[in-house]
A and B are shown apart, each in its own frame.
Chain A
Amino acid sequence: MKYLYYPGCTLKTTAKVFEDSIKEVSKILDISLVELNNWYCCQAIYTSLNDNPSLLLGAIRNLIETQKEDDKLVTACSACYNVLLRSQNTYFKDEKLRVRINAYLEEELKREIKIIHFFELLEEKIDVLNSLIKKRDYPPLAFYYGCLLTRPKGIALFSNDINPQRFENFFSQLGFLTIDFAFKTRCCGSYLTYTNEEIVKDCVDKIILSIKERVNNSCVILTTCPLCQFNLENYQKDYEVFYFTQFLLSLIKGE
């Protein structure tokens, strides 16, 4: 299958390992990802003020670029996924704002673009993945969802925002032990790392503590979000933190 793919800025630089692993995994699974033409910043975080249409322009322009070729867009970065989804939702719901946004644009967004997370493509290919995996003797996996894929309720990828189970199901179908922990969707502190480091330390401590309650010795933390990955890796040394595709790739290669 061929899909349009929106990488976002982070996957091209600090989260390069994430993009490399996505490309390799999709090659192995026969998913062809074609990078979107002229893509640029999705504007990093969703903010909406009634008097300011420019806050949504970046995301909407990317979607307009998409509609020229396809009506689906694949992304893997949690932040991009969240911003694109919420911006599109606001665009179609808020008529007044839409008129003002259109005044900035050469072209309108005519129809809703289906925004797909890369994980959803992997879910469809689970049987193929199962036959490819070489190594299964791993410590239990703790999947940290974070806030961007689970909220706002109703439109986010995972419908359950307290105890989502899709990643756990996915990996237990592949034959891995997964653990449930209390703070898997709790905020990691995000950009407060620049201004209030002690808050992010506190958030990460609590997340790690809730994992420690459930495992005896070692475990591996998996995530989809470059922002969470940075905070979790930077403020604790007990567990390793991987992107889920990075982890899958190492399983396929048998490393």
Chain B
Amino acid sequence: MEINILEEFFNICDEKVFSCINCGVCSASCPISNFMEITPQKLIFFLINNKKEVLEKNTIWLCASCLNCQARCRKSIDFSKVADALRHIYLKERARKKLSLELEIDKIKREILIKSPQQLFIALQRKFAYY
């Protein structure tokens, strides 16, 4: 089944992505955009052109909701909400196809798991879980 990414997106998120003027201040202010396969600005551009590929990029998993881009955005678009919604769509698709989740808990280093605050771990799980 082909999914219509824009339709799915607006079902669960009301960020006004169409008001994006593609200025790129989000990509410039993102502290980790150099690790992303496509920058936040490009991701929004792909999304409004209804490209399903946005779900395959690591960008949606790397956004840690620090809101630096939202504070800079001229159009007050909250990219963290866009990423949250796309993650959710991706996980829903996988759940529908009965595939396991992306997150592999076993691969996390044990010493980090023991020392880290559990709030951090819950945050991770919440970003990777399908509700």
Contact surface of A with B, Cβ cutoff 8 Å: 8-10, 13-15, 41, 43-52, 54-55, 77, 79-80, 147, 151-153, 161, 185-187, 189-199, 202-203, 206, 226-227, 230, 234
Contact = CB atoms under 8 A, between A and B. Distances in A.
B112 A195 contact: no
Interface string B13-55: 1100000000000000001100100000000000000000000
Contacts of A226: 117, 119-120
> Shortest 8 CB-CB distances between A and B: which pairs?
A187-B66, A44-B122, A151-B67, A191-B124, A45-B123, A147-B66, A10-B117, A190-B64
Contact of B12 (A50, A151, A153, A187): A50
Contacts, number: 134
15 contacts: A10-B118, A10-B119, A43-B122, A43-B126, A44-B119, A51-B11, A152-B70, A186-B68, A187-B31, A190-B64, A191-B127, A193-B116, A194-B113, A203-B32, A226-B117
> Residue among B84, B88, B113, B122 with the most chain A CB within 10 A?
B122
Interface in B72-131: 78, 81, 84-85, 88, 103, 108-109, 112-113, 115-124, 126-127, 131
B71 interface: yes
A212 B109 CA distance: 29
Given A43-B126, A51-B12, A230 B31 contact: no
Nearest to A190: B64
Contacts of A46: 65
